[in-house]
Amino acid sequence: MRAPFYEFGAFGSGTALVVALIVGAAFGWCLEQSGMGSARKLVGQFYLTDLTVLKMMFSAIVTAMLGAFWLGRVGLLDLTRVYVPETWVLPQLAGGAIFGAGFALGGLCPGTSCVAAASGRGDGMALVAGMFGGVLVTGLGFRFLERFYDVTARGTFTLPQALHLPYGAVVALVTGVALVAFRAAEYVEGRHAA
Amino acid sequence: MIDRAAPHPAPYADPYVCGVGLGLVLLAAYVVMGRGLGASGAFASSASGVVAALSPASARANPYFARYAGAAGGPWLDWLVFELAGVAIGGLVSAYFAGRLRFEVERGPHTSRAARLLMALGGGAVMGAGAVLARGCTSGQALTGGALLSVGSWLFMIGAFAAAYVVAPLLRRAWR
Amino acid sequence: MIGRDTSGSRRALARVALALGAGAVLAGSPYAAGRGRIDVQALARTSEREDDHVTAVELARWIRERRPAVRVVDVRTRKEFDEYHIPTAEWIPLDSLARARFDANETIVLYSEGGGHAAQAWVFLRALGYPRVFYLRSGLYEWLDDVMSPAVPAIPSPADSAVAALSRYFGGVPHVGERAATTVAKVRRRGC
């Protein structure tokens, strides 16, 4: 099994940065093509008028999830060498809530703000500046955050482990939930258009 | 180049097709690099770089910045920094070809540019704080961690969307 | 990627997702390495030779000497690990072992409360092909008894003195004569 290529030494850190540029460009392209560079369109998610965010995010998650599962299953990808973000239950719930509040206020997320800024949107640029400032200030005040930052650490902790289900069962579950969510999204959008 | 933006911007692409495309990009990152995407990490790295440039001692003494400043290659030759630069480039190119490149401050019809810019600035700052605490944002946690079924990433997503739906109604007027 | 009517492609995508998702239930583990191969004969021979475990004192020596490429792995619950764990140990519960990453040149020492789960983990890691795996035969109990509060005779031999010194290095309290119950951790005489 020779993938992930970088983990098996196929290329070095210099090339990795070039890969980063290319991957980022593809990422930015997909975001802009679906209109995620427009705050006006994006906030439609929160007012239930335009659920593109849900469709985009969930489609991407399901695609990558199924892809990773099956490539792992057929032995083309060594999943143990793919970095899985670790879990800190309370900090990530709290951080998520804070992030979500900012998201609703700003109308863009960190990635889409770069797309918006690159498309000439002043609000995108302001958000990028705000993000930078927010991270900077939070980092400077990290001392006050430190105690809470590391509570409820669970290390690498996946849904299959938490639910005591096989990986494939969780994959099926998430796929099913996503497909139902898409149906619901079409219905909700249809109601609004009517 | 700005003239190209004028009368007929192309319609947006299908969100599901784009989503699958994005998922394939994410999968490619897993396969090629053994890691996923991100955005807020690039902000953390560059903030660390700025602090380190202004005061190397402070950067070293701060446990949050030290991690990024002290990484192999330093805070600027960071994978996420380059990736985010790529995001901007990809967005720019896509907008150019779709005729969506234009200077504008997107806002509701009754909101001034200044007010909207302040919202964006504030929203960004709050997201920055949240991203530090949660170790990521919608790209790094929701997409990357979500697809790999990390519990923390799903908790982040739930927290984020729940909070957004609570806060958004208070700002409805900004977009109406 | 033009905004035409794409309901056909949407339906196709949905069908593919449904098929791949449903298939995942029956597919087994995506961690190819997670399926392992058990060579019963070879494992049995290793166990008979007593080449499958280490004593607590041996482990303590390895840790103190900072023997290279040794990884001490605690396979208990997170709560138990947080209460007390052998110095330098890392926490990898049983169900995470399949996805853990070890180098082939590393010496892996597994331990659990009484040794049962660690012995099982030994089989798992050997089945995954790691060549240098050991477990602490009587688990944390052995560590607490033999390292943290060893019984040392009133007139110690050089070997006894060495054990006493080793114990003190880890903050243990050697006792003269009879084995004393440990006060270092709350030992629940239950679990593997």
Q: How many domains does chain C have?
A: 1
Grade residue B56 by pLDDT with cuts at 50, 70 and 90.
very high
What is the CATH number for C94?
3.40.250.10
Q: Does A66 touch chain C (CB under 8 A)?
A: yes
Residue of A nearest to C100 (CA): A80
Q: Where is pLDDT greater, at C42 or B42?
A: B42
Domain assignment present for C97: yes
% pLDDT > 90, chain C: 49
Phi, psi at residue C152, to the nearest 5°?
-120, 130
Residues in chain C: 192
Residue C103 lies in a domain: yes
Band (C33; pLDDT cuts 50, 70, 90): low
Taking CA atoms, what residue in C is nearest to A157?
A: C96
Mean pLDDT of C6-32: 90
B37 to A111: CB separation less than 8 angstroms, yes or no: yes
Q: Which residues of B touch A61 (CB under 8 A)?
A: 23, 142-143, 146-147
Residue C192 forms part of a structural domain: no
Facing C20 at nearest CB: one of A66, A167, A182? A66
Please tell me the distance from the alpha carbon of residue C70 to that of residue C63, in angstroms, as a whole number. 8
**Residue found under tokens 């993938």:** A3
Q: What pLDDT score was predicted for residue B7? A: 53
* Residue B114, amino acid: A
Cα separation, C165 vs C162, whole angstroms: 5
Q: What is the pLDDT of residue C1?
A: 40
Q: Which chains touch C (3 or more CB pairs under 8 A)?
A: A, B
Q: What is the mean pLDDT of residues B156-170?
A: 97
Give per-residue pLDDT as tens, B13-38.
999 999 999 999 999 999 999 999 99
Residues 142-171 of chain A with CB under 8 A from chain B are 142, 145-146, 148-149, 154, 156-162, 167, 170-171
* Domain-located, residue C120: yes
Please check whether residue C136 lies inside any domain of the structure.
yes
Per-residue confidence (pLDDT) for residue C103, from 0 to 100: 81
pLDDT above 70 as % of chain B: 95
Contact list, C2 vs chain B (CB under 8 Å): 10-11, 13
**Is C21 domain-assigned?**
no
Domain annotation covers residue C165: no
Convert A133-169 to b/e letters by CB count within 10 Å (16 or more is b). bbbbebbeebeebeeebeeebbebbbbbbeeeebbbb
* Beta-ladder partners of C151: C175
Point out the residues of chain A with pLDDT beneath 50.
none
Instruction: State the pLDDT confidence band at C183, using cuts at 50, 70 and 90.
Output: very low
Q: What is the ipTM of this complex?
A: 0.95
Q: Which residue in chain C has the smallest CA separation from B18?
A: C1
Domain range for C74 = 38-143
> Could you write out the three-class secondary structure of chain C?
CCCCCCHHHHHHHHHHHHHHHHHHHHHCCCCHHHHCCCCHHHHHHHHHCCCCEECHHHHHHHHHCCCCCEEEEECCCHHHHHHCCCCCEEECCHHHHHHCCCCCCCEEEEECCCCHHHHHHHHHHHHCCCCCEEEECCHHHHHHHHHHCCEECCCCCHHHHHHHHHHHHCCCCCEECCCCCCCCCCCCCCCC
Tell whether A25 is within 8 A of chain B (Cβ): yes
pLDDT in tens, B131-153: 999 999 999 999 999 999 999 99
pLDDT at B139: 93
Query: Would the pLDDT of C187 be above 60?
Result: no
Q: Is C24's CB within 8 Å of A169's CB?
A: yes
**Residues C71-111: tens digit of each pLDDT:** 999 999 989 999 999 999 999 998 888 778 788 789 999 99
